Chains A and B, each alone.
Chain A
Amino acid sequence: MFGLLKKFKAGFAKTVAAIGEKTGALFGRKPIDASSLETLEEALYTADFGVETTREILEEIKAAYKKDKDLRGQAAAAIGAAVLQRVLAGAEGRLDSPVVGVVDPGTPASPRPATANASNPTVIAMIGVNGSGKTTTSAKLAWRLQQEGRGVTLAACDTFRAAAVEQLKVWGQRLDLEIVASHTGADSAAVAFDAWQAAKARGRDYLIVDTAGRLHTKSNLMEELAKIRRVLQKHDPTAPQHRWLVVDGSLGSNSIEQAKVFHQSFGLTGLVVTKLDGTSRGGAIVGIYRQLKLPIYFIGLGEKAEDLQPFSVDDYAKAVFGVEE
């Protein structure tokens, strides 16, 4: 676990520095005062936590400050981290643990996304707006599962964007992944259908479906997603068992809107948050979790295959607030 926190901190190195710079006095060992509270407010807003969470953290720190005028910066940081941990409680998604508490408006909530038949591959569909990192995440996840000894097939269902299929193929060559693909302009549902058959025939554990990027406001493209699902369900009525939204961690509050709409029309089961290796704190995921209670399965901390890491609430909260172990 320590190794992971280190990795997280390395990815977040710039972030921690940024919050530290703004709140140097506050998160140091000096007692805080009214003006450092204002600095804190700014730091929280610029982390994209959103209005609600920012106010909650501020309230708690202010309350603690009222009780104890000698409140130290480190203690304030710990309060902030604690609020984040509370807000994000249950937000860690794990592939091998049952999916619970996910409200799925599309299909009746099932306690565990069991496949109809134990020998069927578990299907993970990657969904998201343009440029969020679906193709890259699909490849990295396939690699990760393969490293863990699972059999994985990738379905290149982004047949819309020019060269998206080629992009996945290059990843396939680099990381030695198995890919079922057609050509740009092909029917994405047909590719999904074929890929499922191939995965089943080869006895694979997972089928990862990379889909075309679409803004959540485009209903015709949303319809294409529904079609992929319908076609997969001809093979296995429970597929796709996982429907993950890939969210760009540097986006602001709009990612909440995106998640809401995708969730409404596709019944999401989880999130992958990418591009957290920049200076962005990815605070918007806090807002998404508040609103939709969707677990976060993985976060992207860099461009290498191994930079896709399981999400840990503790590590995230501590890294954001620079809490020392």
Chain B
Amino acid sequence: MFESLTEKLTSALRNLRGVGKLTEENMATALQEVRTALLAADVHFKVAREFVERVQTQCAGQEVIKSVTPGQQVVKIIHDELVRLLGEGTNTLSPARPLRILMAGLHGSGKTTSTAKLGKLLKKRGYRPLLVACDIHRPAAIDQLEILAKQEELDFHSDRASRDVAAIGTAALAVAQAGGNDCIIFDTAGRLQIDQDLIEEVKRLRAKVQPDEVLLVVDGALGQEAVNVAKAFHDALQLTGLILTKLDGDARGGAALSIKAITGVPIKFVGTGEKTADFDTFYPDRLASRILGMGDVVSLVEKAQENIDQKDAERLAEKMRKADFNLEDFLAQMQQVKKLGSMQSILGMMPGMSGVQLPDGADRQMARTEAIIKSMTLQERRKPDILNGNRRQRIANGAGVKIVEVNQLLKQFQQMQKMMKMMKGGGAKKMMRQMEAMKGRGGFPGM
């Protein structure tokens, strides 16, 4: 998501190569480029200026270490500074129970969607969330939240007759107490930070429900305006955190840097896709790494831990080791991967892959594969060898695909089996060597 910034920083620092010492002079042009890159990435003017000044002070006088290029060295300094700017730690939610969360933001920033996503995440963490519809202004906003709540099997409260948001909030607290909900999330209407009436409305709601967390939902593509928005909402509502949305796009996300630098309010969550599972805790160090194109393996691993059934995974791994892996296991494995989110969002977390766009319908391809396997009988799944021409045609018909696709899948599966057998039969070393050679070519950092 921050690829463009990375590219610009890299090209800005390229001309530092072969310099013995970083001085203010030889850094000047590069830092000017860095500033331009930050501005082009929508980082606020003042934040960009201060950032560049700090990096300049830290760089000046440093010996260029022989083993790395000056560019890499500066990238390291910029990375550390980014981590600092984005703020360490402090991304956790209040431990209060019941936990009351108020969502606020501009129109179309993604409050209602984020409310449902946060509800889902907290449910997974053992809470019993109640989603409360306090957006009485946008047509059908209440319906939208109700549908999403139903979809995620979350409790929901609304009062379509009421025009008093504070009263709806108070009533919801009673509903939560009666229903045993230990987490209440209030979705509010989108409002401009300069719309006094609506700001007063949400202030009254805040006063009534006394939230433990007030989260500002911000579109990751927001421009210089981000600073005004965040400041005004912070003044009115004393924010405790930010949710950065739509980060699955290619927005450079300078807004995140600006808001953090100017208000000091920590970024707590990021929305990374259209599925309700595409929602993550925010980690500044990971984001900084991502800004510099270093990938985000840690997020991927944690996502896997949360979504994948440990026992299932172990069983599958064991089967793989024994090379006793059939199409049914393959299907189970695929379904587990699907739980992690869309393929594109998974890819985005891999080192060096963040800029790679999946070809059209990679997720659809997976759905087709699933359909093919599901069109097989249990016996066929367990013993793919019995699949003759007739059976293959029947499967193709059942899945609504061409027979070529069935053949392709089976061929891929055979190759996979072969690989597993190699690993089992002491060929593991040989395979490692093969992978080693691949690594040299592909250049995956940190692997």
Instruction: Assess A47 versus B224: contact at CB under 8 Å? Given A162-B144, A170-B140.
Output: yes
- Number of chain A residues close to chain B: CB under 8 A: 51
In the docked arrangement, what's the CA distance between A130 and B107, Å? Answer: 11
In the docked arrangement, what's the CA distance between A220 and B147, Å? Answer: 23
Residues of A within 8 A of B151 (CB): 162
A253 in the interface, Cβ–Cβ < 8 Å?
yes
Interface segment, one of B38-46, B289-297, B307-315, B369-377 = B38-46
Contact B223 A220 (CB under 8 A): no
Interface segment, one of A56-64, A113-121, A186-194, A277-285 = A277-285
Contact B248 A184 (CB under 8 A): no
Residues of B within 8 A of A166 (CB): 139-140, 143-144
Partner of A171, one of B108, B139, B251: B139
Residues of A within 8 A of B222 (CB): 250-252
* Shortest Cβ distance from residue A39 to the other chain B in the assembled complex, whole angstroms: 11
Contact A254 B147 (CB under 8 A): no
* Shortest Cβ distance from residue A266 to the other chain B in the assembled complex, whole angstroms: 15
In the docked arrangement, what's the CA distance between A277 and B193, Å? Answer: 11
B187 in the interface, Cβ–Cβ < 8 Å?
no
Contact B192 A252 (CB under 8 A): no
* Shortest Cβ distance from residue B251 to the other chain A in the assembled complex, whole angstroms: 4
Interface segment, one of A140-148, A211-219, A291-299 = A211-219
Interface segment, one of B62-70, B358-366, B397-405 = B358-366
Contact A252 B364 (CB under 8 A): no
Contact with A along B343-382 (1 / 0, CB 8 A): 0100000000000011111011000000000000000000
B246 in the interface, Cβ–Cβ < 8 Å?
yes
In the docked arrangement, what's the CA distance between A133 and B138, Å? Answer: 11
Which residue in chain A gives the minimum CB-CB distance to B147?
A: A162
In the docked arrangement, what's the CA distance between A168 and B141, Å? Answer: 11
CB contacts under 8 Å to A, within B209-232, are 219, 221-229
Residues of A within 8 A of B250 (CB): 216-217, 254, 257
CB contacts under 8 Å to A, within B125-148, are 138-141, 143-148
Instruction: Assess A219 versus B194: contact at CB under 8 Å? Given A166-B140, A251-B222.
Output: no
CB contacts under 8 Å to B, within A144-185, are 161-171, 174, 184
Instruction: Assess A164 versus B223: contact at CB under 8 Å? Given A130-B108, A254-B252, A277-B192.
Output: no
Contact B143 A279 (CB under 8 A): no
In the docked arrangement, what's the CA distance between A220 and B344, Å? Answer: 11
B109 in the interface, Cβ–Cβ < 8 Å?
yes
Instruction: Assess A253 versus B225: contact at CB under 8 Å? Given A170-B140, A219-B361.
Output: no
Residues of B within 8 A of A258 (CB): 221, 249
Residues of B within 8 A of A210 (CB): none
B31 in the interface, Cβ–Cβ < 8 Å?
no
B87 in the interface, Cβ–Cβ < 8 Å?
no
In the docked arrangement, what's the CA distance between A132 and B219, Å? Answer: 10
Contact B223 A251 (CB under 8 A): yes
* Shortest Cβ distance from residue A72 to the other chain B in the assembled complex, whole angstroms: 25
Residues of A within 8 A of B140 (CB): 163-167, 169-170
CB contacts under 8 Å to A, within B52-67, are none
Residues of A within 8 A of B45 (CB): 41-42, 45-46
Contact A219 B360 (CB under 8 A): yes
Residues of A within 8 A of B109 (CB): 131
Contact with A along B251-281 (1 / 0, CB 8 A): 1101100000000000000000010000000
Contact A278 B143 (CB under 8 A): no
Instruction: Assess A133 versus B107: contact at CB under 8 Å? Given A163-B147, A254-B252.
Output: yes
Instruction: Assess A215 versus B143: contact at CB under 8 Å? Given A51-B36, A250-B225.
Output: no
A229 in the interface, Cβ–Cβ < 8 Å?
no
Contact A129 B107 (CB under 8 A): no
A50 in the interface, Cβ–Cβ < 8 Å?
yes
A7 in the interface, Cβ–Cβ < 8 Å?
no
Partner of B39, one of A45, A133, A168: A45
Residues of B within 8 A of A50 (CB): 40
B110 in the interface, Cβ–Cβ < 8 Å?
yes
A309 in the interface, Cβ–Cβ < 8 Å?
no
Residues of B within 8 A of A254 (CB): 42, 221, 249-252
In the docked arrangement, what's the CA distance between A70 and B67, Å? Answer: 55
Contact B106 A252 (CB under 8 A): no
Residues of A within 8 A of B147 (CB): 162-163, 184
